[in-house]
Amino acid sequence: MTSALADRRPEPTLERLLADLVPPPRFADARLATYEPDPAHPSQAEAKERISAFAAQIGGEKKGGLLDRLGLGGKRRAEAARGIYLDGGFGVGKTHLLTSLFHAVPGKRVYGTFVEYTNLVGALGFQKALDQLAQSQLVCIDEFELDDPGDTLLMTRLIRELSDQGVAVAATSNTLPEALGEGRFAAQDFLREIQSMAERFEVMRIDGEDYRRRDGAVNIRALPQAAVSAHARTGSGATLDSFDELLAHLARVHPSRYGAMIDDVTCAHLTGVRRVDSHNDALRLVVLVDRLYDRKVPVPVSAADGGDVLEHLYSEDLLGSGYRKKYYRSLSRLASLATDGAALVEDGGDPS
């Protein structure tokens, strides 16, 4: 019998949360040598060169012990580390470059998305999470974004304290540091905290087109529901969910557990996919799509209206909101996964 994501209620351990702070499978083999800058956008080649130099700088530094980093070892406290911040639209290769940096730096380093770090702090408490992360040479933060005042205070403080202890921090985002939070809450009330964090970074703007959708299309290819359901029954590791039931389930599972929820899933089939009008539903869906994309899980979909293209996954109000960049990234990624899923179904491939 085909299982459903909606039947899964994972409870990952603390050890699992820490072990997951590595590049996702999609980028496990990403290296600077395999990053191919678009000649039409020189900033991509410049970013590649700067990342290489930054990696060499980190690799050449020798950090003291914990007492030294805390300023308790009889020596002066380490100078604040300079970080690097890659800003640009989705699909221009920021994650590839960040992952390449991770692989180019020797010693202990950690890698996670913004939400994974906030979840870690929530699970461990601030000081314990800081102590764990401060043992690293490098902390990589992908998809840096601030959605609420609590996250603003949490992450700006975490970055300042890591930097003060000599830990190099590298981040990617599609929003400049000084503009984080705009359109979502009263960012001006937290301007001092945001600016103090931004001062720790060298900002590099990366221009270019979304490599997943060079034609600019973000429509999601849909299949007949019968074909999606039938394919879900052809291999182990496949799941089958109705879209509404999945959205309801995501509301009951903390986003920090979405990664564990898709453990061993080889193909995630969705039926009845329709427009999402609620920010709460949409933001949870964004996290799930990110985890599916990270793990290269194909997603065959059928549309609620029976059409062969899902033109409007997120409502116009959502796409015009302060979260629009998250939603457009999600559209790009889900369109790619749905294309992979459609090819699998039409070729009669085994989901496993």
Mark whether 173 and 253 lie in a shared domain: no
pLDDT of residue 32: 95
Count of other CB atoms within 10 angstroms of residue 116? 21
Helices H / strands E in the chain, number of each: 14, 10
* Of 265, 327, 333, nearest in space to 297 by CA: 265
CA distance 226 to 38: 41
Contacts of 16 (CB under 8 A, 6+ apart): 260
* Of 112, 148, 90, nearest in space to 283 by CA: 148
Average pLDDT score over the chain: 83
* Of 294, 304, 279, nearest in space to 334 by CA: 294
Using 50, 70 and 90 to split pLDDT, how confident is the model at 342?
Answer: very high
- Contact call for residues 31 and 262 (beta carbons, < 8 A): no
Kindly state whether residue 11 falls inside one of the protein's structural domains: no
Which structure tokens are listed for 260? 């564990």
Kindly state whether residue 67 falls inside one of the protein's structural domains: no
User: What percentage of residues in the chain have a pLDDT greater than 90?
Assistant: 51
Using 50, 70 and 90 to split pLDDT, how confident is the model at 69?
Answer: very low
Mark whether 319 and 226 lie in a shared domain: yes
* Of 243, 233, 217, nearest in space to 302 by CA: 243
pLDDT of residue 98: 96
Kindly state whether residue 75 falls inside one of the protein's structural domains: no
Contacts of 10 (CB under 8 A, 6+ apart): 253, 257, 260, 261, 263
* Of 216, 214, 211, 180, nearest in space to 326 by CA: 180
pLDDT of residue 155: 84
Mark whether 164 and 218 lie in a shared domain: no
pTM for the structure as a whole: 0.80
Mark whether 40 and 158 lie in a shared domain: yes
Which amino acid is it at 40? A
Mark whether 163 and 47 lie in a shared domain: yes
Mark whether 266 and 336 lie in a shared domain: yes
Domain boundary among 206, 236, 271: 206
Per-residue pLDDT tens over the stretch 105-147: 999 999 998 888 988 888 789 999 999 999 999 999 998 776 5
Kindly state whether residue 352 falls inside one of the protein's structural domains: no
Kindly state whether residue 18 falls inside one of the protein's structural domains: no
Domain boundary among 206, 231, 249: 206
Largest CA distance in the chain: 70
Mark whether 265 and 246 lie in a shared domain: yes
Mark whether 133 and 172 lie in a shared domain: yes
Count of other CB atoms within 10 angstroms of residue 73? 14
pLDDT of residue 145: 72
Q: What is the tally of structural domains in the chain? A: 2
pLDDT of residue 193: 57
Per-residue pLDDT tens over the stretch 4-23: 999 999 988 888 888 889 99
Kindly state whether residue 22 falls inside one of the protein's structural domains: no
pLDDT of residue 41: 92
Instruction: Determine phi and psi for 219, rounding to 5 degrees.
Output: -70, 145
Long-range contacts at 48-52 (CB < 8 A, ≥ 24 apart) = 48/97, 50/84, 50/202, 50/204, 51/84, 51/97, 51/100, 51/101, 51/104, 52/104
Using 50, 70 and 90 to split pLDDT, how confident is the model at 61?
Answer: low
Mark whether 153 and 228 lie in a shared domain: no
Mark whether 238 and 319 lie in a shared domain: yes
CA distance 165 to 67: 10
Q: Token match 């998305």: residue?
A: 113
Kindly state whether residue 20 falls inside one of the protein's structural domains: no
Taking residues 243-247, what's their average pLDDT?
98
The three-point CA angle 347-348-351 to 5° equals 110
Using 50, 70 and 90 to split pLDDT, how confident is the model at 182?
Answer: very low
CA distance 148 to 190: 11
Q: Is the pLDDT of residue 65 over 50?
A: no
> Which burial class, exposed, middle or buried, applies to 117 when counting CB atoms under 10 A from its CB (0-12, 13-18, 19+)?
buried
Alpha-carbon 134 to chain mean position: 21
pLDDT of residue 194: 55
Mark whether 187 and 40 lie in a shared domain: yes
Domain boundary among 147, 175, 206: 206
Task: Note down the domain range covering 85.
Answer: 31-60+80-206
Q: Where are the alpha helices (DSSP H) in 84-147?
A: 94-104, 114-124, 126-133
Taking residues 224-243, what's their average pLDDT?
94
Q: Is the pLDDT of residue 189 over 50?
A: no
Kindly state whether residue 107 falls inside one of the protein's structural domains: yes
Mark whether 241 and 284 lie in a shared domain: yes
Per-residue pLDDT tens over the stretch 77-115: 345 567 898 888 777 889 999 999 999 999 999 999 888
Please provide the DSSP assignment of 255-282 as one string.
GGGHHHHTTT-SEEEEEEE--B--HHHH
Per-residue pLDDT tens over the stretch 305-333: 999 998 889 999 999 887 887 888 899 89
